[in-house]
Structure 1
């Protein structure tokens, strides 16, 4: 390994080996044993039941079957690389019809096929359902989580191995998780420093070709050593990521700004509406003197308007200001998340923000 790299990452965390990947599997199956929460009178489910019964030697019509305790489902799984026949996989079972819940159901034997149409695994077993659904006679219902999806841990058995060129290929190709020419060059240099000059060659910004051992028995140990090599990846590109829906702003460490002046302030206007009520009175002169007769109340509006202007002076960025200075200056004027987004967009539009502005 390369010594003295404080921020080095293992090569296995930076790249994948081309061709060494998982493969998705999918199949159509039938879940039985439901407590009245199945597909009911669905024609597809009843025909599926009829097909299974016929394979078991029972001749029945689809009209004679009731699918209220059965559900048509889609079964999915991921086949990891190098899996051998006889090993087990976890499977996910999802309803494809009108079933309300798979709670308590059992998946009948279901072939799982790959993209080439070949069967690579067989699934069967009791479902584990984390959701719950309850319905009342008046139509009210309560659903917790998702009762129409369940899992069967180790519920599929591998029947066919996916062939790979790991033992036959002359070269291994390492594909970087993030394309970067500098990182690709650093990976090639680190591998050559470990195994000798000419072992690794950077093909482009995403891939590095490594010469594999001629002896197939040495390839596993060679790959184990290769994965543990430490590489100092190049700094990521200067980017500012803005989530307009949540107001989240992420600023990369390489972001810089050129000379710019920013003024941030706000005008606050408060209007307090009040009313003064005075009791009206009428004086009536009679034989015995004046008499005060109460009159209609007199309502006088009393409006108070307050205007407050924040005294936030403009601040200036010097050339090459770093991320820390940029954030400190913006926080100093009390900018909210929305204000921060507006400031960054204005800086980018003015050409002062040396970064890619990405709005998601």
Structure 2
């Protein structure tokens, strides 16, 4: 039997290895290199309202490039402009690493694209602008799920300015609760806490509600003396939900100090977040199962809210066990990209992704 014949050229090695004594197979072993024929890269893009983050990794999970761009709001800027920012931010991560044609798959997880129609439209625009052969556009909650659980099953609950819970069961079914904006949802979020504080302050001053330290603290926060002076600050177009959510730490601090009204608001917020998780668990037939539950978002930085949430979860979903999110959402996007490129995401690759994530300390 003849020994294998190996020819090397420009980091490509062609191995001719015998199958039987007189028959050979030509195996193409593609190594990571810059330029030329190469589909050993995938990309992930986390498209948020504040900023857009992108990364490029190889099939072994090694971080090769990253980019940061402006935030995106498809409702106000339009789909064309949103897609342009997504592609430009991706190209920042690709600089000096690869070209669009070298990408086996890219997953974009975006805010503001909750309908299939909107995601398909943006996908089409990205494909036209980049020529990438395999593009997936999903919601930002979807990549948060994949990142927090490392691509596995379980539930993630998020409470920042807004709120939602999203989960995946062993069959791969996915369900989300909440996350459709402050007018229709966002219970338990920073906005919810701030909004309830504003209402409590007005009721206190009107004489319709219980006295609370929140009244003075809310007015001082905005630099006003009476609620009427708040109106031009709050009733603007579009409504600045983050300005209202900024009241959340004031509420949690007052609750920790023993203010009864603030305590009721905090308990209500924790209960609403548990409701989100329970709704997802019911839809996915997971209420009687053991599953990981990850919590994320600024609201959970409050030890009081986190503690109340954990206690309520133990009562209502006793087999759920709490974990810290394993990866950032942008890593969740590349996990999805790897799977869609046909790469098995197992322990060794996940460990390498953790090493890559440690290099993303400046990307939230």
| TM-score category (smaller protein) | under 0.3
Work out which of the two has the higher radius of gyration on C-alpha atoms and give 1 or 2: 1
Q: TM-score, normalised by structure 1?
A: 0.20
- Whose relative contact order is higher, 1 or 2, with alpha carbons under 8 Å and at least 6 apart? 2
